[in-house]
Amino acid sequence: MTGAQEVHNRIVGNLIGELYVCLKTKECQVYPSDFLVYIPECDDYFYPDITVVCDNVEIAEEKRRGLDVLLNPKIVVEVSSKSTAEYDLSEKMKCYLKLNNLQNYVVVSSENKLVIVYTRDKDGDFKVKTYSEEDALIGECKIKLEDIYRKIGFKAKKEK
């Protein structure tokens, strides 16, 4: 889907910056939403908001409309809104979780301070952790919620 709200774009920009700083000395690349990902198990293509690839970038032999098509993301981030949350957490998530190299599927709310991280464990199963007050752990990067939501205009809920 092309085009997004200002809040969505600000969150994506904030996260790309934070992930880049965390991973800049590693063999990883952080890509914005223009990198098409192919999921063979679903025979479907997606443009994640953010994609992280570590080690070698694997590009599909067949190009789609002349575009490079990524096969091996390690981390996929989707910034969701009211209109996209259901899809991001259902059909799209089911496909992403089938990717063999994927270690984290991350859904970041643009409506409130909430980050949901699905992490593959050593047995290949995904465990879910939600972050609404504490720093989010995305891969090996510990990112403050305040940095993800910098200049957004809403505050994290405080426990009473």
The CB density around residue 42, as the number of other CB atoms within 10 Å, is 15
pLDDT of residue 4: 60
Tens-digit pLDDT profile for residues 63-75: 777 889 999 999 9
Rounded to whole angstroms, the Cα distance separating 36 from 24 reads: 22
Domains and CATH numbers, the chain: 6-148 (3.90.1570.10)
What is the band of 157 on the pLDDT scale with cuts at 50, 70, 90?
Answer: very low
Dihedral of CA atoms 15, 105, 91, 51 in degrees, nearest 10, equals: 50
- In this structure, are residues 116 and 106 in contact, taking their beta carbons and an 8 Å threshold? yes
Structure confidence by residue, pLDDT tens digits, 2-24 = 556 789 899 999 999 999 999 99
From residue 29, give the alpha-carbon distance in Å to each of 59, 79, 91, 142, 158: 14, 19, 26, 17, 34
CA angle 116, 30, 28 (to 5 degrees): 105
Q: What is the pLDDT of residue 40?
A: 92
